[in-house]
Amino acid sequence: MPLDSARGKPVGLYTCGPTVYDYATIGNFRTYTSADILVRALKYSGYKVKYIMNLTDVGHLTGDNLGDADIGEDRLEKAAKKERKTAWDIAKFYTKAFFVDFEKLNLEKPEKFVKATDHINEQVDLVKRLEGKGLTYRTSDGIYFDTIAFEEKTGKKYSELSTLARIKEGAREEANPEKRNPRDFALWKFSPKGVKRDMEWESPWAPPGARGKVMGFPGWHVECSAMSMKYLGETFDIHVGGEDLRSTHHPNEIAQSEGATGKKFVNYWIHGAFLKVDGGRMGKSLGNAYRIYDLEKRGYDALDLRYFYLSGKYNEPLNFTWESLKASQVALAKLRSLITVHRSQSTRTTISEYRNRFLQAINDDLNTPQALAVLWEMLKSSIPSSDKYDLALSFDEVLGLELSKSPKKVEIPEEIKKLIAKRSILRKEGKFEEADEIRKQIERKGFNTQDEKISR
């Protein structure tokens, strides 16, 4: 990937982090793991990286799910009511929970986690800047970004930034009627009349006809522009986020940042694809929005999940099933046991061919499935044991699977044991074709018929 930053100068990388009103799911963590692989791959290739991730703790409204992020309740305030805590307590609790899982997945800590509520001044300043350029207007509930004015003044097409029109079909009638254009979005919202929010601040703005101070809070999109530009500069290299941010959040970030600065905001946008569950959508209402805790309850480790993530390319949908997680658990245990064998004979030598192929895979748009394939092939090759160990640990700087750990004993499910028994009977009876079918079934479930080490 060609980057503007010359080697030596840090690559600026910003990831849109979680909204801390609930536990992050394995879907959320897929994106953060992809960002982590990218950071590690850049470092492995000799770049310095300045990595920033935000924590959204205010302003992310429930209407976002319906395609209009300017309506509905603030997720934090809603959770606070439900859990009988303050929004501040909610943020604190779920941020801490997020960090625990973050560490379990062996994700490298960003240089800074930045919170929206710690950067209210920066957000107000950005809105003022946009106001100064004539890119905002006021309604009874807030200050809005004017996408038509943006197009007229910058010559840029907002519609080219966004896939919003497609996504918003069906959700339109809920939109705020005071918006001049459905694509416009809130930069600052006034606290509703008579409502005392847990999180609200003074600002230079008030609704038409209001007397006295009117408190308010920033719109959801503005935090990411304000904070990324504060820490990484008005133009920076890479911005990562989930696919769900492609239609609205990111086009809005671009429009308001470039509207304010007149400069290009970000050089490369990286969007992580969705995680499906059992072939369908994952959702809290569907009861399948699993988190690390749910996996641990069933005897899995967060790094089994990390291996599973790596088995797919970050920008292609990946289907989570308990069976596929089992297969990942088995594969990771096997990798570790293969590596343990080579540990004692470690020397400093390396074999450049495998290293190059591994690098090629990673540099091919973070092709982690290919990188894993190179690792497996290398371990099964005839290169000296010591080189295998060194190379595997070197690759692990990117993969982050803690490969030098001793492998966990993986229990063989009853179902697999039965298949193994069936296969050996078929073989004894000379029915090799049928036995081979059984072997394939066993392998599809992530087990290896020759692998004695893992089965005991």
Which residues, at least 6 apart from 64, have a Cβ–Cβ distance to it below 8 Å? Answer: 72, 220, 248
Q: Assess contact for 322 and 304: CB atoms under 8 A.
A: no
Nearest to 136 by CA among 59, 203, 87, 74: 203
Closer CB to Zn ion, 128 or 239, in the complex: 239
Least distance between Zn ion and beta carbon 185 (Å): 13
Closer CB to Zn ion, 144 or 265, in the complex: 265
Stretch that binds Zn ion, among 11-19, 39-47, 98-106, 203-211 (CB under 5 A): 11-19
Closer CB to Zn ion, 56 or 329, in the complex: 56
Dist. CA 391–CA 201, nearest whole Å: 53
Dist. CA 276–CA 312, nearest whole Å: 12
Closer CB to Zn ion, 245 or 303, in the complex: 245
Stretch that binds Zn ion, among 35-43, 118-126, 132-140, 223-231 (CB under 5 A): 223-231
Least distance between Zn ion and beta carbon 91 (Å): 16
Residue whose structure tokens are 């590690």: 40
Residue whose structure tokens are 């429009």: 255
Least distance between Zn ion and beta carbon 456 (Å): 48
Based on the shown chain and the rule CB under 5 A, indicate whether residue 272 belongs to the binding site for Zn ion: no
Site string for Zn ion, 168-207 (x = CB under 5 A): ----------------------------------------
**Three-state secondary-structure class, residue 389:** helix
Stretch that binds Zn ion, among 9-17, 18-26, 71-79, 149-157 (CB under 5 A): 9-17
Based on the shown chain and the rule CB under 5 A, indicate whether residue 16 belongs to the binding site for Zn ion: yes
Q: Interaction with Zn ion in 412-451: which residues (CB under 5 A)?
A: none
- Which element (helix H / strand E) includes 433? helix 432-444
Number of other CB atoms surrounding residue 137 within 10 Å: 16
- Of the candidate residues 110, 241, 312, 407, the single one contacting Zn ion (CB under 5 A): 241
Q: Residue 173 has which token pair? A: 């009638």
Stretch that binds Zn ion, among 195-203, 216-224, 351-359, 376-384 (CB under 5 A): 216-224
Least distance between Zn ion and beta carbon 134 (Å): 25
Least distance between Zn ion and beta carbon 112 (Å): 15
Least distance between Zn ion and beta carbon 61 (Å): 14
Q: First and final CA of the chain: distance in angstroms? A: 44
Q: Assess contact for 198 and 216: CB atoms under 8 A.
A: no
Based on the shown chain and the rule CB under 5 A, indicate whether residue 224 belongs to the binding site for Zn ion: yes
Least distance between Zn ion and beta carbon 107 (Å): 18
Least distance between Zn ion and beta carbon 90 (Å): 19
Closer CB to Zn ion, 183 or 388, in the complex: 183
Q: Assess contact for 318 and 312: CB atoms under 8 A.
A: yes
# binding residues, Zn ion (CB under 5 A): 3
Which residues, at least 6 apart from 301, have a Cβ–Cβ distance to it below 8 Å? Answer: 295, 329, 408
Dist. CA 167–CA 147, nearest whole Å: 18
Stretch that binds Zn ion, among 13-21, 25-33, 406-414, 447-455 (CB under 5 A): 13-21
Residue whose structure tokens are 């343990």: 340
Q: Assess contact for 116 and 123: CB atoms under 8 A.
A: yes
Residues contributing to the site for Zn ion (CB under 5 A) = 16, 224, 241
